[in-house]
Structure 1
Amino acid sequence: MEQDIQAFLTELQTLVNQLELSARLMFLPTRQIQLILIAIMIALSFLARWLWSERIRDWIRGLEGRSKGQLRFLVMLQRRIALITFVLLCWTTIFVMRQVMGLFPSRSYILVVVGTIALAWLVIGFATKLIRNPLVRRFVNWSAWIYVTLYFVGLLDATMGLLDSVAVEIQNFRLSLLNILQAIIITGTMVFLARVLSNAASQRIRTSEDISPTLAVLLTKILQAVLYVSAIFLGLRAVGFDLTGLTVLSGAIGVGIGFGLQKIVSNIVSGIIILMDKSVKPGDVISLGETFGWIQSLGARYVSVVTRDGREYLIPNEDLITSQVVNWTHTDELVRLDIHFGAAYSSDPHLVRKTAIEAAMTVNRVFAQRRPVCHITSFGDSSVDYVLRFWITDSTKGLTNVRGDVYLALWDAFQAAGIQIPFPQREVRILKD
């Protein structure tokens, strides 16, 4: 313990000495002019932002016909106008001092260091815009800024030595603060690359005409799992972590899964079965209990079903395996619908059947290649009961609305043909004693 504290104090003293030396060199009389120039350029940069930022923003808002990528790039430039102005002023000043005035490089050393750091900050700001997660993007920004700053001012080795001195040792295993930071950076980079490769491969798989939708989802999930797990393992191995101890951890996880995660594992296994047997796939129209809608996506734990009223139900995969599911579009898109109605006994049943079929054919969504049929089902108390059967191919657009359209067509056709739709009538007689 005392050796660790002594090592930490030694590294800290080394860093302090380098900081003190850098400060003395910076404030030498020959370099004070460079510091004054830097202060003036900083003030001019903020002045440029104050003068032009709002004007450039208004100009961007007035642009028409530009793509979203171009507008985002212009907004990025507008938000960094101060830093861009400082970089331009700094390197212009360096050029003038060396090429025009013929001064030695030592006369512009601080300007070169500050200009290089500012240019690196600008490049990092643009590059990290590729990261969508705001928290991760901010972390990468600050980490990269700190790294390049320490590197160009010559304090990187001393800082790394200080971080490496803060460590804990357990038998032959040593874990320092530097190892942790390296593990976070390398593992994060590997996960980011895995995500990029996963998205590109997933897009390629989904657009392939030779792969079915369910197989595409299954391959995408397997690819994502392999890439992310490999990225984490490779990232940890790159910084020297011994992963042999994970065998004990995996055994403990297996015991935890067996007792506490039964439902989750059941849903995951059910999801794999669904993807392999192709019983449901994205775009299918299903009914499960009182839920009727089309499958939007298949997840590892649940299936997303969107109903006609815009509600999204997350149905566990296990329910699709153990419950009775009606898949309206499992083998093909043809769906048969039945409509029950009654006509008066005085109406010719042959005319009723013919009129009903012709009325159904006038509805746009009724599948014309399979002609509707109409049959008598019973002789009721007040009417002759019929069933009209027709087919549709676009069940994702809803069933109630097409039934309503057919009912309206029947009403109009029966009115034109003089066919009566009866309703129950009751006659009340009052008997006198």
Structure 2
Amino acid sequence: MAIVQIIPAPEPIDDFEGWLNAFAQTTVLIELAALLVCVLLAWALVRGLRRGLGLQEERSIWFGRRNIDGVLFPLALLCLAFVAREILAKHVSVALFKVAIPVLVSLLVIRVGVKVLQVAFSESKWVRPLEQTISWVAWLIMVLWVSGLLPVVLNELDMITWKVGSTTLSVRNVLEGALTGGAVLIFTLWISAGIESRVLRNATGGELSLRKAISNATRALLMFVGLMLALSAVGIDLTALSVLGGAVGVGIGLGLQKLAANYVSGFVILAERSMRIGDNVRVDGFEGLITQINARYTVIRSLTGRESIVPNELMITSRVENLSLADPRIYQSTVVTVGYDSDVDLVRSLLLKAGQSQPRVLSDPPCTATLSNFGADGLEFTLGYWIEDPQNGQGNLKSDINLAILAALRANQIDIPYPQRVIHQR
């Protein structure tokens, strides 16, 4: 059943003279006083609730910047007006409330639509034209309702029909479906806005991103369910959309296969623990520590402070060097060239002493100093050592060891030769 069928049409006033006569009665003053009392009671109710709950949010749907800006004020006023009309109808002839009730209903519909759209899509440019459209449609329906022309117009629109396959549609069905769908979607947006405000409250950092994703997914799901309910309420057979839904599902599946692969890869990484938070890895030429392993991606932070967001599929399908999978210790080395006339045993002892003097260098395995090459300019020695805290930096330790080696060689007058080239001239 569509929403326009739920609203009962009032008793129409036959002519303009009868309209004026109805408002010329002295009982209209009583109705006006009752309506004014309803306004004051609604204003006091909203003000009391606002102060009692401590709500000062401008983007709230129920409460706006002022007491009359939210949805609660027209809703409370409409309920009080209904009660006042029922009480007065038992004693006097009601005329003013025949106009006031439709006006308040239209005002409530406009306010609900406007506030929900402002909260749900605060930065969208098309919200303002849509708000104006809702206002014009609501006031038009109110005029037709008051004048008693709404049933006549609906019957005329019901006579304009056409066939779509085995289904017969009319202009009235289309309009009722549009209004019902709009009402359902606004209601679902209202619920999603409330869920979003609850989920995002007091969220910071990475938790904020996760909660925002949950909020967006919930909104999309609610809007989809609301649209299906709206189509079903109009009378459209949803089984006719099964073929289209299947095609759309296949397209979405093909488009999201990379996304699905990343999620599956994330679960595989977490399950087999081949990479863990805190491991030092090298992926696609980028080296750093794993700081986060999420469902879709892994965050790697280098020692320079840069962070790389790596899709989990890449962590599974490509070659990954985990420098701390079975053992956090890693090997480093530095190469020194000395002259051919240098004391080899003295050079080796100086290199070992320079390496062992650093507190970060492990004693087990011990440092090694080897003659690795007979270079063109001198003897090349390699000092090798192990560390177990690469997260504290590797270049800084290598620099300290090189400085210690340079100081030891200079203190013992061991020459570090310049590159030598021999030129033969004929």
Q: Could you tell me the TM-score, scaled by structure 1's length?
A: 0.51
Aligned to 2:348: 349
Letter in 2 for 1:248: V
Q: Using a 3 Å threshold, how does the CA distance of structure 1 residues 129 and 250 change in structure 2: closer, same or farther? A: closer
Give yes or no for the alignment of 1:325 onto 2:320: yes
Aligned to 1:155: 145
CA distance in structure 2 between the partners assigned to 1:199 and 1:377 by the alignment: 66
Give yes or no for the alignment of 1:408 onto 2:403: no
Letter in 1 for 2:397: V
Which of 232, 238, 246 in structure 2 is aligned with 1:243?
238
CA distance in structure 1 between the partners assigned to 2:380 and 2:133 by the alignment: 81
Conservation of the 8 A alpha-carbon contact between 1:131 and 1:137 = no
CA distance in structure 2 between the partners assigned to 1:79 and 1:320 by the alignment: 50
Unmatched 5+ stretches in structure 2: 1-8, 33-54, 85-91, 202-209
Give yes or no for the alignment of 1:383 onto 2:380: yes
Percent of pairs with identical residues = 19
CA distance in structure 2 between the partners assigned to 1:305 and 1:402 by the alignment: 19
Q: Using a 3 Å threshold, how does the CA distance of structure 1 residues 311 and 143 change in structure 2: closer, same or farther? A: farther
Letter in 1 for 2:268: D
Conservation of the 8 A alpha-carbon contact between 1:164 and 1:179 = no
Give yes or no for the alignment of 1:340 onto 2:334: yes
Which of 164, 167, 189 in structure 2 is aligned with 1:170?
164
Aligned to 1:186: 184
Q: Using a 3 Å threshold, how does the CA distance of structure 1 residues 313 and 386 change in structure 2: closer, same or farther? A: closer
CA distance in structure 1 between the partners assigned to 2:162 and 2:276 by the alignment: 52
SS, match of residue 383 in structure 1: strand
Unmatched 5+ stretches in structure 1: 1-14, 38-68, 99-103, 204-215, 395-400
Q: Using a 3 Å threshold, how does the CA distance of structure 1 residues 417 and 179 change in structure 2: closer, same or farther? A: same
RMSD: 6.3
Q: Could you tell me the TM-score, scaled by structure 2's length?
A: 0.51
Letter in 2 for 1:355: A
SS, match of residue 359 in structure 1: coil
Conservation of the 8 A alpha-carbon contact between 1:288 and 1:324 = yes
CA distance in structure 2 between the partners assigned to 1:403 and 1:225 by the alignment: 48
Conservation of the 8 A alpha-carbon contact between 1:257 and 1:265 = yes
Aligned to 1:425: 418
SS, match of residue 261 in structure 2: helix
What's the CA shift for 1:274?
0.7
Letter in 1 for 2:368: H
Conservation of the 8 A alpha-carbon contact between 1:183 and 1:235 = yes
Conservation of the 8 A alpha-carbon contact between 1:339 and 1:388 = yes
CA deviations on 1:132-170 (whole Å, 9 max, x unpaired) are: 564486688567656765676673965777776776432
Instruction: Please list, as runs of the form range in 1=range in 2, the aligned pairs for 1:204-243 lying within 5 A after superposition.
Output: 227=221, 233-234=228-229, 236-243=231-238
Give yes or no for the alignment of 1:271 onto 2:262: yes
Q: Which shows bigger deviation, 132-141 or 383-392? A: 132-141
CA distance in structure 1 between the partners assigned to 2:168 and 2:417 by the alignment: 90
CA distance in structure 1 between the partners assigned to 2:135 and 2:277 by the alignment: 44
Q: Using a 3 Å threshold, how does the CA distance of structure 1 residues 416 and 307 change in structure 2: closer, same or farther? A: same
Letter in 1 for 2:334: H
Q: Using a 3 Å threshold, how does the CA distance of structure 1 residues 148 and 277 change in structure 2: closer, same or farther? A: same
CA distance in structure 1 between the partners assigned to 2:221 and 2:183 by the alignment: 17
SS, match of residue 355 in structure 2: helix
Letter in 2 for 1:240: G
CA distance in structure 2 between the partners assigned to 1:324 and 1:297 by the alignment: 18
How many residues of Structure 1 are paired with residues of Structure 2 in the alignment?
A: 341
CA deviations on 1:175-201 (whole Å, 9 max, x unpaired) are: 542224433543564577579779989
Letter in 2 for 1:359: Q
CA distance in structure 2 between the partners assigned to 1:131 and 1:384 by the alignment: 69
SS, match of residue 238 in structure 2: coil
